[in-house]
Amino acid sequence: ADMWSVGVIIYLLLSGDLPFMGRSQRELFRAIVVGKYDFPDEMWGDVSEHAKELIKGLLVTDPSKRLTAKQAMASRWMRDRGDMLRQHSLMMSQRRIKTFNARMKLRSAMINIRYLSNTSVWKKNASGASVTAQPTQATIDEDMLEDEE
């Protein structure tokens, strides 16, 4: 079983966010490989230490040291959750997932804007009245440089 992914899913359900972050894909991969994540108080203040310990055991980067499915099911948090699962907890998880989805949509929009701004040259039309996006070329010709000035 892919228990590392289970750790990511539990983290997401309890916090409404992903455990690993990075400003670029390279930073994100680095955070995943080294296992760099945290439990910010604003999202984790009301989550038990037993839940955090389970997640830590599941997100161990070395698979031979990671919790097995049997060990995870025997964890204190899993045992306690089986006895204590309430509507409140489900509603909290649902609310956090909605927040996560909204953040992912915003992040996607920001990535698209960054992509468009990196692949377009913004320049004025001949009358100077409006701004249009023109696809960039591998080389910038002299006419474009003169129009910019």
- Average pLDDT over all residues of the chain: 77
pLDDT digits (tens, 9 = 90+) for 109-146: 777 777 777 665 444 444 555 454 444 433 334 443 34
| Claim: this prediction has a pTM higher than 0.85 | no
Read off the amino acid at residue 73: M
More confident site: 126 or 52? 52
Q: What is the average pLDDT across 40-45?
A: 90
Domains belonging to the chain, first-starting first, are 3-122 (1.10.510.10)
Query: Is the predicted pLDDT of residue 105 greater than 50, yes or no?
Result: yes
More confident site: 126 or 15? 15
Nearest-CA neighbor of 99 among 11, 16, 12? 16
**CA separation (Å) from 15 to 24, 28, 42?**
22, 18, 9
Q: What is the average pLDDT across 24-28?
A: 90
CA atoms within 13 A on the CB side of 96: 21
